[in-house]
Every structure is written in structure tokens, then in C-alpha cells.
Structure 1
Amino acid sequence: SRSYIEFPNIRFSTANLSSVSSNGIFYNSGFLVKTVSGERKMFFNKHNEFGDTVWTIIWDSSDAGGTGILLTDNDEFILTGGLGFGGTTADIFLSKHDSNGNNIWIQTYGGSEDEIGFGIVQDNLGNLYIGGYTNSFGKGKYDNYLLKTDPVGGKIWDKTYGTKRSEGGMVPFVFVDDFIFCWGHMDTLGALSQTGDNNYVAKLDLDGNIIWRKFVVDNNSLSTTIWNATFHPKYGIFLCGEYNVASKGLAMRFDLDGNLIWQRTYSTRRIPAWDQCYFTDIDVLDNGDIIVLGTAPSITDTTRLDRDIWVLRLDSMGCLVPGCDTLNTGIQDPAALTSTFLIYPNPARKQTKILLERPLTIDAEVLLFNFLGQKVMTVKAYQGMIDLPLDLKGLGAGIYVVQIVSNGEVLGKGKVVVDAH
């Protein structure tokens, strides 16, 4: 079935769906933008098992937006997003509602500038973890922001993750075995000619410490875009989005230790100067098959220059055609999207930083070699570190080889370009 929700005098709206309860109901939350004034209003709906709208509530608060929704016990639900959404001083809000939409409690969090919440997960004690971005705290703009509260929204701690450049926020998407899994955006592109964020998926403990993080980048350091993630207890972690090198729909599967199992890219046909194909949502069936939803140029009507809704059903290996993991079917391409570490910024001048995917489990050294193979720098790196700063002020302009070494074994290597100071 399908249902439509119409709002008069609205320029556009966005929506986010909750999971489905045991009796089939689910909730929808988002924001509306008024045509004349541009004012934003938050709405939320309840739907029955057929998708029919049971009720709709528009929150009587100027410039509010709901961007994350969590179904809880007794068909109650929790919302997050922003109050003052669209301005420069929004606060994250967290509100709980009963099955009729009545507000049970509400809490707000933020500083002197802009914060927005994107997603919520709940642990087995009822504590809540809200992910989003912050401009009040952290190192730069739109830093990844994670906030932990008790079951009624009382703040326990908050943490930021980011660089001095502009990030894009983070989204917690599942709580499993006393760990939180998140995806997000981090600006790890140092060259001024490159734009956009690199994306990552990460595993965190309940104190917000990073257990591992996996950057989703290609060999040319061009950005990818992750739009959504999901988890299946048998099959692991799945991401979807866009492979920006060729503007194709991207799907990836990881195990719970962050190891990439497969990655697939798909497209329909190309239209010049368009971002043609991308996936916006992904779900996994109990038999391992995968449903991905996105947008792409029409396959049947090649005269149109706009895009259609795009739905694919893939097998557990991400294949539209069985055996794509061993055969080249002509429609999906292997995308080289893995890295043991990233160097940010790169090119660099006075300082840079090595961003590891996992904290070091042993003490190590970072070695830099010039183009003649001469060692020009040694930096100690200790167990537990995940970001390794490098002071480059004593180095001349050029390309340097970077090695991470422990007990004579090379744990990882890369290159950094040092510009003239």
C-alpha cells in the first residue's frame, strides 16, 4: 500500500521513519518549510500496518525540525533534531511521546552556536545516545557530536570528534553487545582543490571511545557519500550511498570488527552534468537478501532528463546478477575504497596528523623518509593512540614516505606532500 500526506502552502518537506513495532505501526517525523515565510515547522505522524496515516501533529514551535526518531516500548517514541533549525543558534532537542503523540518530556542541549541531532539509539539500561553535529564545541565547524543521556534525557556526557576543518556530523544507528555503531562525515581531504567529506563507519564503547573506525575513501582520495546504514544480527553492517568518482549507487557490507566483506556500485544510464545514481536507504531480509532504495535516470524512458525512484533487490553478496562476486557482469564495478590510515591535511605545511582506523595495541614509531630513502624523522606513538600528530616545520617541500613501525615490522605506510612553509 502507499499513502500521501499533504500540507497546504508548503514549499518542501523531509521525513524520517522509525522501525516497525510488533503490531505493525510506525512513526514518521520531519520538518515543513512554508512557501512564503520560509519558516520551518516539525511534524510527526503515526501509521498503521497498512501505511495509512492514523494522526498527524505539527509542533507549534518556530523553526523546529525532526531528523531522528526511535521507537520504544508500548509504541512510544523519542524524537531528536533541532530547535531554531535553519538558524545559526539551534539546539539539539530530545523529546519523548506516547502512542497518541502527547509529549511526555523534552530536553535541549547546546552552546552558543548551532547544534543538530541526527539519530538516536538506546542501550539495554534505557540510556540514550544522540549523534549529530556541533558548532559550539570541538575543533572546527560541524564537528561530529555524541551525547549520552539517562532514560529521561538527563545529560551524562558529551564528546566531539573532528578536525579543524568542516565536518558533517555523525549518526548512531544500532546498539549491539554493549557497543554503539555510528556512521558519519569527517573532512580528511587536505588539498584545496578537493571538496567534500570522507565518510566512515565506527564502533564505540559506551563511554564514547573509538574501538575502530573505517574510512570509506577511494585510492584517489576523492570523497564518497554515505546516506544510510543498517544492521542485521546474522549478516553484520551495511552502508549505502554514492560512489562519487563515477556517480554510482554504492552498497557495502562489513563484519562487526570493521572488516570489509564486499562493496558494489550500480548505475542505470548517464546524463551529462548530473549526479545520476545514488542509494538513500538499505535494509536486510532474514534470508540475507538486501533491498536498496535510491534515485537514478529512468531505464524505460530515455528521453527524460530527470530521475526515477530506484529500488533493487540484491543477494547476500550484494549481487543483482548471481555470481557477481566472481564474474564481471558489466553493471557493477569493484571500487577501491579501503585504507589502513589517512593523513590529514595532505598536502600539508607545518603540521599534519595520521588518522588510524583503530587505536594502537602496541607502542610504535612513525618514520618519514625523503625521496632519496633517507630517514628524516622519527616520532614515538604509544599504545591506545588513534590520531598521531606530525610536526613538519623542519622539513623542506617535497614528497615523503610515511611508515608506522613496531619491532622492525611495518604496520602501515603512506605518503605525505609537504608544501613550502
Structure 2
Amino acid sequence: MNAQSTQFKVYTLELTNEGYDHIDIKEQSGAYYSLIEASNLNIPKMRNKVLKHQPFDLELIWTGQFKDLPGSLSDVLYYPPLDLLALSDNKLVYVSSSRDAVSEERGTLLNWFDNSTGEVKRVEKYSHPDDDLWTCFGSILRPDSATLLLPGLLGSENTFLLYCVDTSGQVLWTKQHELDVFGFLQITLDMKVMPDSSIIVLITSGTTFDKKTYLLRLDSMGNFISFNETPFKGSGQALALHPSGNLVFLCMPDLNSTGPTCTRVVMVDPVSLDSIWSREFWHWEPPYICKGLSTASLQSLSVQENGNILVGVESGRKYFLVEYTAEGIELWRRVIDVKHYIDSLNYSSPIFGHSIRTSDGGILLGGVFQVKAENPVDYAYRVFLLKLDSVGCLVPGCDKTIITSTEAEEVRLENGCWKLTPNPAGAWVQVMIDQTCPRAHLVDRVVIYDHLGKIIRIASGQPGQDQYMLDTSLLPSGNYVVQLLAGPVILGAKTLIIAN
């Protein structure tokens, strides 16, 4: 590989015939830990693994593997792990949902790793005496680093359950709250501890094609304070606390949307839930809005000490990173595509996982390649880690291919540097960009607005792409505006006539 390989690593894991779901990544004391899970439930013993990497060159230090509950009379089938928690006393805790192979009882399984050796020190299971306990995403370590909060749902009713466990595995208290929600509670949730030690839980409920998002407030002992529906459409995927004291939400669209919809990043007042600002992160248009939608494990939302907000979402085998200021101003947008790395390596398209901002200011992104095989039912997987710089560049200097909103006021392309064809358009319109023109190589998106200024079509690409195709077959006849964008900056605008 070329010089870029200094920032690009591939690790081989023998996960033959075991599907893959996601990678979680955490940093502790400068080292990185990645969580690999096999998601084929037909395998009696799923081989979920945890890896420890060197802090700088990302070389592998050790590989640890999940274990069943010791002394169990029947096998415990553990579903894909949900959360990774790094404790201060040289321990790592991996939270997964489990099911007993004989009784089929569901519960929460904890694997406690020694982060210096990768050895599993102990395994514990928590269950409910009267019902199945469905473990949820969103387990957290409290700020005191002495207790863990483990969320779950009871299987037969819309009841939220919360365990508080100390670092020895002792259950300190358990609280459950029956919630009046639309449809059924989803295991996708997020949870945070507020500065006053109260607990807030972002909860999604609904059906396959319709979702609502709620905010549950509990005191420090898990007692009920309030439960409110949020004003956001779709399902809440991630929640973060901002240094300003406000809350930041990442919301995904409903699957049954009949018009263009989008993933939104929203900052709200923590008490009233009034929106302070809202930004469209990524657009989905029918019938493509299901493409790339995935569990919360593939959505990343993090707030930095300076108040900036980093958001990452996988879509179409690419990873989209955007950073906003505390005021919601888009600083940069990056499309991470590693296809050119895998064409000659006999890999198929990648699946991306979590991304985190690292202590050195960079960004670490995990994922997996499926290795092509002659036998279509035979699979192997190669896990990869990408170390990006502070503005999401895989290759040094890629920041030169984007304009930030704080740069020159007048950077537009000349009209002769790009054209719309056909215009008037029917089913499709093609945008052609002359890459010999100054700044033409910076364009990474083309957007169509209606006469009310609403975005109705969007096509994203890579800087340097000279053609974009947009589907206009369902648009009513009329005049529209087409804009060329480089990150948040408008590089050009023209009128498009639709004649359908």
C-alpha cells in the first residue's frame, strides 16, 4: 500500500460464517479498545471479541473473548454485546443481552475484563424474577466511577427497568417504571447523568413504520420525576450533554415518510425541551430512506470540551462526519469512503461502526470488510480501524479540499463552470461540473430547493466528482433552485425548470 497506509490499518479476525453487526470503540489511558460482535444467532457459541490497540500505531496488544456464565446448568446464548464501559481501576465491562438455552430466560450479562491482559475476571448475569429482561443500549458509568447504570425493558409490557451495580457486581438498587407510550418500547435508547445527579433517558417507542421519542427523568436513586414526549419526529438515536447545560439529540427519520426527510441534530433546553437550534445532518428521499438506516450502534454523537459537536452516521457503505460549533454552525463535512483501498484486496464493501474523538485531537473510526469467497455462504471478516486527523482527513492535506464557513465571502464558481442538463428536466437532471475551474474540485453536494426554500433533493459525493444525478420524477412542474455546496459554503446556484 502507499504512504497512506501509515494511517490505515487492517486486522484479520477469523469470524467465518458469523455475520457482523458493529464495532464499539473506547479510549482509556491512551489505549484503544474495539468491540467485535458476531450477529448470527444460529451459532451456539457466538465469538464476540474485544481488542486492545497501541495508542499511536494501533497495533494489536491482545484479543479477549466473551465467556458464558460459569457454572450454568445450561448454555447461555449471549446476543451481540451492547456497550463497552472503561473503569478507572484497570477494568473493562462489556454489557450484552443473554438468553438461557433451556429456560429461554432473558437477562443482562456482564463480562469483566482485565484491560492489561484481556483476561475475563468474572461473568455475571442479572435477570428479572417474573419476566424476560431485554437489555438495552445505553449502559453508562456514573461520574463517580463507582457505579454502573444498566437499562432494560420487561418483555411482556412497556416497563423500563434500571439496575444500579457497583464495580464488584453487587446490585445496589433496582427500579422499574411502567410507561404510557405509543406502540412498543424499543431497545435503542441513550442515558445520561445530569450535573445535579438526576438521570435522563432518551426512549423511542412505536411500530415498525412509525416512531415517537420521549424523555424520562429520574432522580439519583432511579425514582420517577417526569416522562414527556419530545417534539422531534422519528426515533431518538443519541443524547449528549453540552457544556452550556443544554441537551443535544440525534434523531433519525421515520421509515414510512412519504417525502424527503432527514437526520437531525438538535440542541434543546433541558427543562422545557424547546429547540435552541436544529440542523439537518443527512437527507433521505423515498424510496431510499431505509438505505443506511441502522441501530444506534452505528450513529455517533459526541460533544468536545470546547463545545463543538461531532456527528457520524453510516449510509450506503460510506461514513458521514460533520462537526458543528456550539451555536450549530457547520465547520466541516467529510465523506469517508475506503472503496479505493479494497478494490485490489478481494474485499467487498465496508460496514462502519462507531467513531470517537481521541485524546490527541484526532478521530478513530472502526468498521469491517467482508472478504469475498468462492462459496457464497462462506464469509470471513477483516476488521479495520481508521485514524483520522482533527478534521476527518484520512490522508494528510485533505482539509485543503473543503471550504469552511469562516473563509472568504465570495468563492462562487462562474456560471460557465457547471451546467444542468436537461433543463427543463423530467425524470432526471444531471449536474456537470468543469473540474478545470478554480474551486470546482471542492464541490461535495448538490441540493434542489423548492420556491419556499425547502430542501427536496440532495446528492452527496466526493470532492473532485464531476457529475451528479438527481431523481426529479416525482416533483411537480415548476421552478426550483439548484445549489452547489462545499461543506456549508454555497459555490453556485441556478434555476431549474421541472416539466413533468
Bucket of the pairwise TM-score, normalised by the shorter protein? 0.5 to 0.7
Aligned-residue offset at 1:204 = 2.1
Query: Partner of 1:96 in structure 2?
Result: 164
Aligned-residue offset at 1:30 = 2.0
Equivalent of residue 171 in structure 1, options 238, 259, 264: 238
Residue correspondence of structure 1 range 203-242 to structure 2 within 5 A: 203-207=267-271, 208-218=273-283, 222-223=288-289, 225=293, 227-234=299-306, 236-242=308-314
User: Cα–Cα, structure 1 residues 94 and 336, in superposed 2: closer, same or farther, change >3 Å?
Assistant: farther
Equivalent of residue 57 in structure 1, options 121, 124, 143: 124
Aligned-residue offset at 1:97 = 1.1
Residue correspondence of structure 1 range 67-146 to structure 2 within 5 A: 67-72=137-142, 73-84=144-155, 89-109=157-177, 110-111=179-180, 114-116=184-186, 118-135=189-206, 141-146=210-215
1:354-395 deviation digits (Å, cap 9, x = unpaired): xxxxxxxxxxxxxxxxxxxxxxxxxxxxxxxxxxxxxxxxxx
1:86-144 deviation digits (Å, cap 9, x = unpaired): x6x342222211111221122223237522462211111101110121249xxx84311
What is the aligned-residue RMSD (CA, Å)?
A: 4.2
Q: Which has the higher contact order (CA 8 A, sep 6+)?
A: 2
**C-alpha contact (below 8 Å) 2:364/2:385 kept by paired residues:** yes
Query: Partner of 1:253 in structure 2?
Result: 323
Equivalent of residue 152 in structure 1, options 221, 224, 237: 221
User: Cα–Cα, structure 1 residues 186 and 27, in superposed 2: closer, same or farther, change >3 Å?
Assistant: same
Residue 217 of structure 1 aligns to a residue whose secondary structure is strand
User: Cα–Cα, structure 1 residues 158 and 219, in superposed 2: closer, same or farther, change >3 Å?
Assistant: closer
Distance in 2 (CA, whole Å) between partners of 1:102 and 1:4 is 23
Q: Residue type matched to 2:91 in 1?
A: I
Residue 277 of structure 1 aligns to a residue whose secondary structure is strand
Aligned-residue offset at 1:290 = 0.7
**C-alpha contact (below 8 Å) 2:318/2:335 kept by paired residues:** no
Identity of aligned residues (%): 16
Distance in 2 (CA, whole Å) between partners of 1:216 and 1:188 is 17
**C-alpha contact (below 8 Å) 1:249/1:277 kept by paired residues:** no
User: Cα–Cα, structure 1 residues 10 and 159, in superposed 2: closer, same or farther, change >3 Å?
Assistant: same
Could you list the runs of 5+ residues in structure 1 that have no partner in the other structure? 348-396, 404-414
User: Cα–Cα, structure 1 residues 26 and 333, in superposed 2: closer, same or farther, change >3 Å?
Assistant: farther
Equivalent of residue 27 in structure 1, options 85, 90, 93: 93
**C-alpha contact (below 8 Å) 2:88/2:145 kept by paired residues:** no
Equivalent of residue 48 in structure 1, options 110, 114, 118: 114
1:49-92 deviation digits (Å, cap 9, x = unpaired): 324333221113324213221112152111113221xx6x3422
TM-score (norm 1): 0.67
Query: Partner of 2:410 in structure 1?
Result: none
**C-alpha contact (below 8 Å) 1:90/1:116 kept by paired residues:** no
User: Cα–Cα, structure 1 residues 163 and 254, in superposed 2: closer, same or farther, change >3 Å?
Assistant: closer
Residue 295 of structure 1 aligns to a residue whose secondary structure is strand
User: Cα–Cα, structure 1 residues 398 and 266, in superposed 2: closer, same or farther, change >3 Å?
Assistant: closer
**C-alpha contact (below 8 Å) 1:188/1:343 kept by paired residues:** no
Distance in 1 (CA, whole Å) between partners of 2:477 and 2:257 is 14
Distance in 1 (CA, whole Å) between partners of 2:120 and 2:397 is 41
Could you list the runs of 5+ residues in structure 2 that have no partner in the other structure? 1-61, 69-73, 403-441, 458-474, 482-495
Aligned-residue offset at 1:27 = 2.3
User: Cα–Cα, structure 1 residues 174 and 401, in superposed 2: closer, same or farther, change >3 Å?
Assistant: farther
User: Cα–Cα, structure 1 residues 401 and 63, in superposed 2: closer, same or farther, change >3 Å?
Assistant: farther
Number of positions where the alignment pairs a residue of Structure 1 with one of Structure 2? 337
Q: Tell me, yes or no, if structure 1 residue 334 matches structure 2 residue 406.
A: no
User: Cα–Cα, structure 1 residues 212 and 71, in superposed 2: closer, same or farther, change >3 Å?
Assistant: same
Residue 136 of structure 2 aligns to a residue whose secondary structure is strand
Distance in 1 (CA, whole Å) between partners of 2:391 and 2:359 is 14
Distance in 2 (CA, whole Å) between partners of 1:201 and 1:266 is 22
Aligned-residue offset at 1:323 = 1.4
Residue 149 of structure 2 aligns to a residue whose secondary structure is strand
Query: Partner of 1:315 in structure 2?
Result: 389
